Structure 1
Amino acid sequence: MTAERPAVDPRWWGPPIGGVAFALAYPPVDLLPLALVGLWPFLWFLDKELENAPSGSWRGAFAGGYLFGLAQYGALLYWIAGLTGFSVMAVPAYVASVMVMAFNGALTAGGCALGRRFGIPVAVSFPLAWTGVEWLRSFGDLGFTWAVAGDVLANYPLLIQPAELGGVYLLSLWVVALSTAAWRLVRPRSDTPRTATAAMVVVVAAAVPAYGALRLDRLERQLEGWPTLRAAAIQPNVPQDMKWEEAFETEIHRRLSVLTLRVAPREPELVVWPESAVPSWLRYDPRTRALVPALAAQIEAPIFTGTNDADTLTGRSGREAGDYRVYNAAYLVRPDSIVSNRYAKQRLVPVAERVPFVPGMATGFFERLSAWTGQFSRGEEWTTWTVEGFEFGALICYESVFPSVSRALVLEGADFLLNITNDAWFGRTAAPYQHASHLSLRAVEHRVPFLRSANTGISGWVDPLGRWRERTPLYEPATVVADLPIPGGGTPYTRWGDWLPFACVLAWGGLALVGAARARTAPRGRGSVVASSTGR
């Protein structure tokens, strides 16, 4: 009698186990060791899948990578499905988001398999492909850089300092390269030279904290000499089901006013309200347009607030066409009743704020679809404002997860940055903690302080070293007053941008071309590059 073969090959358990384990390394769980070992089941799967396939089983690798991605993002983004109280599209949006994000693992694994055909070892191709794919997924209407590998380090100031050199993608490369190198050391039946690999693991592991310790020590000594600006963040704690009800408009204004007057004795030079803080259209509602400047005059400081806004479209004759473009916007309201220039959010949440791939106003089928999603228009200009001699810009809601947005504003001259958001949608899930954690990375990337005003939390401020200096609890009215230290000058990442992931893509492509050329000229048979490469 022969033993029955298992219904599922054991190696196929590796990717989903690894995906869930890796997800637990992100905030708010923050099990950092899983950032190292969480990828090992996935790497074990790739070893098994590729070891008996001289040319690399790209289909099997791609499928395993997709399973890894489904598990990772299924665990990380569960809170999207919890938005059913606000939208019938919540569960479909969750499923679609996870299915799209899962291609991160699939493309990485497929890239490793294809790279092996050209003689690129998995230990080299895996970190390069992973980092390159993370960067590529930031583009387009479905761009979504939530939960890149470097984000697992967000709450560890010692480990995020190299972001000033290569952004969060440098941290991603470090996490994945360290995990891959360590796996080569511990994997069963390893043919890797143990001493050399162990030395490499130690060097790679020590490089980032050593750099972090040096930079933190130097910047900490400079901190006291930097100029400061006193700013206040307001957290009104308006429930989402109350926010757009006309009956609660007076109550919302009262909460904002009471909390703003509470910080007035501290003499802030800028007061910041959350995303869509005012319960009406600031530019078009006479009551709101009178109340906010009057309050700014009373506290003798400008108020920065989020608001919905709209522009009337005109026809060729110059007359109003009867249609509007609606924006998720922000304005600076000064005590002299001047509503300054507008910033309109440019990175809109796919589906929630805009139907992807539909330019301008949605019509026909897409107009009906937008009734269940969102129909905001994308802003077109980066805007900065000046307060007490300092320039600042604002990231609205999830723009904080995109390194390119904060970089664009700093290049426009911003000395410090704001993040205004309304995370009331998410309840007491992991989402508010994951969302807020991105600011530590953005602060280090450009050495700018951040002040965050969130409707229901988390509000607070982050210094240029990436440290949260104060933060509020969720679902409580609160205020934060901060003396923001402003170093100025930018960083290498400010100047060079995403050079690193671009280099990773080029490096993978270059190695593949070299390998292909060698394979073409090598004698066919067991001695060829393609046939003999271990790919490990």
Structure 2
Amino acid sequence: MTPKIKAAKRLLPTCLLSFLLGAGLTFSYAPFSVWFIAPLLLAGFFWLLNNKGRSHAFLSGWSFGLGWFGAGISWVHVSIADFGGLPLVGSIGLMLLLSAYLALYPALASWLLVRFITPSYWPLGIGFIWLFCEWLRSWMLTGFPWLSLGYSQLHGPLGGYLPILGETGVSVLLVTLACSLGLLVPKRHFKSAFMITAVLLISGYLLGKQQWTEDKGQSVKLVMVQGNIQQSLRWVPEQDLPTMNLYRQLTDSHWDADLIIWPEAAIPKLEPLALRYLQELDETAASHQTAVVTGIVNYNFETRDAFNNLIVLGSQNGEAQGHYRYPHANRYAKHHLLPIGEFIPFEDWLRGIAPLFDLPMSSFSRGDFQQRNLQANGLHLAPAICFEIAFPNQIRANLHDHTDYILTVSNDAWFGHSHGPHQHLEIAQVRAKEFGIPVLRATNNGITAVIDADGRVLDQLPQFEQGVLVSRVPRYQGQTPYAKFGDLWAWLLAAMGLGLAVWLPKRNTTQQSSATQVN
């Protein structure tokens, strides 16, 4: 047996165990939400990396990431298989390719940790390294920050840090805790491990009792309509009018609401071709002194630019007069576009290879990063369309002193009966807790929900059912530390830890050298 084969046989168990530890993280996210699994599995990985994987840190980290994302975003396969026009082998292959790409980031973090940080000081250095690699993941190719570790702690004690450090900072605390456990417990340093765990969890629990924003004592009667339109019918021209009539019929008995919300692209007809319908809806809503916010695609036939939009119809400030005139300014254009679904990377190469790369409405133009709040019946709404809710910095940039609610709309019919929509809802819950402001989430087929300022679901509709959610939603005032400072404190804490991880070994070496010279 050659040395290379022997080395591969020794490495295989480490990679396999890393893969399984990563895959287990799926159970720490929704719909399972077993928060304490994450620190335990991460601790196991850091122990394995220190004892078995240091010589192949990148491959060990990549194996962990492949399990983490392969199991966690397996729902991507559903959309590719059902709507992408690829055979089963192709859909699974593309899902694994995406997972393999995302796994590069924990692989890079593992390599940097082993390469530059002395093992005894890993817990101090891992926070900055992990934060840097996760920032890269949220930025490269427009970013895909799904399944960031902090989301797993929404229902755990570390969730108390969300209004202060945000999900980003909670991820730093989580990897710091896990790395400490992974190094201290095997060495039987139980007292130190217990103290670190107790301090972080107890302080997080106590912070979770703090109310950072307060209820104004005012509430809004909200209506959200869930049409439950099959994805296969979304862009069939013959289904445009039936879909539009359905949403109108479901709304007609709820004109007494303060605010009515329809989900992403609820109106399937292009906006310039639906003007009569929109003007009638605008007049009806205004005559009842309410407003309708709906998703629609705006297409400019001259420039050929398409925008995934939210528009407001009806009253802006309680007046019995509509303001809709195409293309009025009370609208929002999606900024973060979904690769493949809304824009095609390397379009000239990929178009025509498979139906997946030629889906309807897959060439959108990008809206601005920062846009005005939607103004609907005296309310100010900070919008996010679909997976934009996973970008806290974008949400923060669009929150103002007068913002009443975060509004997110989506069409999760792409993901069928998978755990994808549950993870999507969990992300929205974290945004609410970070910013101390309710999140209104309207979807085509679920999970339509109202989330309070503490991240709890107040009301929701069942998935895969046609329905109307009626709820009273409180209005809040105030600002969380995270809303004010964003990721600043997370980066500062992580940078301090990295500084200590680099400085302390050098200081110890200098002291030992001095002691040797004295002796």
Aligned to 1:229: 220
Structure 2 CA distance, aligned partners of 1:124 and 1:372? 46
Aligned to 2:210: 215
Contact 1:127 1:180 in 2 (8 A): no
Give the 3-state SS of the residue equivalent to 2:221 in structure 1: strand
Structure 2 CA distance, aligned partners of 1:28 and 1:120? 36
> Aligned partner of 1:125: which letter?
G
Contact 2:405 2:439 in 1 (8 A): yes
Aligned to 2:115: 114
Contact 1:411 1:494 in 2 (8 A): no
Structure 2 CA distance, aligned partners of 1:198 and 1:227? 44
**Equivalent of residue 495 in structure 2, options 495, 506, 530:** 506
Structure 2 CA distance, aligned partners of 1:194 and 1:343? 53
Structure 2 CA distance, aligned partners of 1:515 and 1:158? 30
Structure 2 CA distance, aligned partners of 1:324 and 1:215? 50
Distance 1:296 1:405, change over 3 A: same
**2:446 corresponds to 1:457:** yes
Q: Return the offset for 1:426.
A: 0.7
Contact 2:157 2:201 in 1 (8 A): no
> Could you give the per-residue CA deviations for residues 235-279 of structure 1, whole angstroms, max 9, x where no partner exists?
111111112222222321222012112323xx2111100000002
Contact 1:282 1:288 in 2 (8 A): no
Aligned to 1:53: none
Give the 3-state SS of the residue equivalent to 2:442 in structure 1: strand
Give the 3-state SS of the residue equivalent to 2:75 in structure 1: helix
> Could you give the per-residue CA deviations for residues 322-375 of structure 1, whole angstroms, max 9, x where no partner exists?
54111111100115342242211001112221124x6xxx6x446657535821
**2:281 corresponds to 1:292:** yes
1:169-248 equivalent positions in 2, closer than 5 A: 169-187=168-186, 190=187, 193-212=189-208, 214-215=209-210, 222-223=214-215, 225-248=216-239
Structure 2 CA distance, aligned partners of 1:110 and 1:7? 21
**2:336 corresponds to 1:338:** no
Contact 2:430 2:455 in 1 (8 A): yes
Aligned to 2:318: none
Q: Return the offset for 1:500.
A: 3.5
**2:34 corresponds to 1:31:** yes
Give the 3-state SS of the residue equivalent to 1:326 in structure 2: strand
Structure 2 CA distance, aligned partners of 1:200 and 1:417? 35
Contact 2:286 2:314 in 1 (8 A): yes
Q: Return the offset for 1:518.
A: 6.0
Q: Return the offset for 1:68.
A: 0.1
Q: Return the offset for 1:294.
A: 4.2
**Equivalent of residue 252 in structure 2, options 261, 272, 277:** 261
Structure 2 CA distance, aligned partners of 1:397 and 1:406? 12
Distance 1:350 1:447, change over 3 A: same
Q: Return the offset for 1:113.
A: 0.3
Contact 1:446 1:490 in 2 (8 A): yes
Name structure 2 gaps, 5 residues minimum. Answer: 316-320
1:352-501 equivalent positions in 2, closer than 5 A: 352-356=341-345, 364-365=348-349, 371=358, 374-380=362-368, 381-411=370-400, 413-501=402-490
State which drifts further: 11-20 or 504-513: 504-513
State which drifts further: 296-305 or 270-279: 296-305
Structure 1 CA distance, aligned partners of 2:427 and 2:130? 19
> Could you give the per-residue CA deviations for residues 132-173 of structure 1, whole angstroms, max 9, x where no partner exists?
32233212434111111111123x286523211111112212
Structure 1 CA distance, aligned partners of 2:39 and 2:502? 30
Q: Return the offset for 1:297.
A: 4.0
Give the 3-state SS of the residue equivalent to 1:61 in structure 2: helix
1:128-167 equivalent positions in 2, closer than 5 A: 128-154=128-154, 156=155, 159-167=158-166
Distance 1:479 1:109, change over 3 A: same
Distance 1:194 1:120, change over 3 A: closer
Q: Return the offset for 1:432.
A: 0.7
Contact 1:79 1:430 in 2 (8 A): yes
Structure 2 CA distance, aligned partners of 1:416 and 1:81? 33
Distance 1:202 1:428, change over 3 A: same
Aligned to 2:58: 62
Structure 1 CA distance, aligned partners of 2:27 and 2:156? 19
Contact 2:292 2:376 in 1 (8 A): no
Structure 2 CA distance, aligned partners of 1:137 and 1:208? 27
Q: Return the offset for 1:402.
A: 1.0
Structure 2 CA distance, aligned partners of 1:130 and 1:77? 20
Distance 1:512 1:205, change over 3 A: closer
Give the 3-state SS of the residue equivalent to 2:52 in structure 1: helix
Q: Return the offset for 1:122.
A: 2.0
**2:297 corresponds to 1:325:** no
Aligned to 2:126: 126
Q: Return the offset for 1:12.
A: 3.2
Structure 1 CA distance, aligned partners of 2:376 and 2:78? 40
Aligned to 1:103: 104
Distance 1:157 1:41, change over 3 A: closer
Q: CA RMSD in A?
A: 2.9
Contact 2:149 2:174 in 1 (8 A): yes
Structure 2 CA distance, aligned partners of 1:105 and 1:235? 38
Contact 1:232 1:482 in 2 (8 A): yes
> Aligned partner of 2:343: which letter?
R
State which drifts further: 8-17 or 203-212: 8-17
> Could you give the per-residue CA deviations for residues 396-429 of structure 1, whole angstroms, max 9, x where no partner exists?
0111111112111114842211111111111111
> Aligned partner of 2:180: which letter?
A
Structure 2 CA distance, aligned partners of 1:437 and 1:241? 26
> Aligned partner of 1:383: which letter?
R
Report % sequence identity: 24
Contact 2:220 2:472 in 1 (8 A): yes
Structure 2 CA distance, aligned partners of 1:45 and 1:159? 24
Give the 3-state SS of the residue equivalent to 1:259 in structure 2: helix
Q: TM-score under structure 2 normalisation?
A: 0.86
Structure 2 CA distance, aligned partners of 1:77 and 1:229? 36
Give the 3-state SS of the residue equivalent to 1:78 in structure 2: coil
Contact 2:35 2:156 in 1 (8 A): no
Q: TM-score under structure 1 normalisation?
A: 0.83
**2:339 corresponds to 1:350:** yes
Q: Return the offset for 1:91.
A: 4.2
Distance 1:488 1:311, change over 3 A: farther
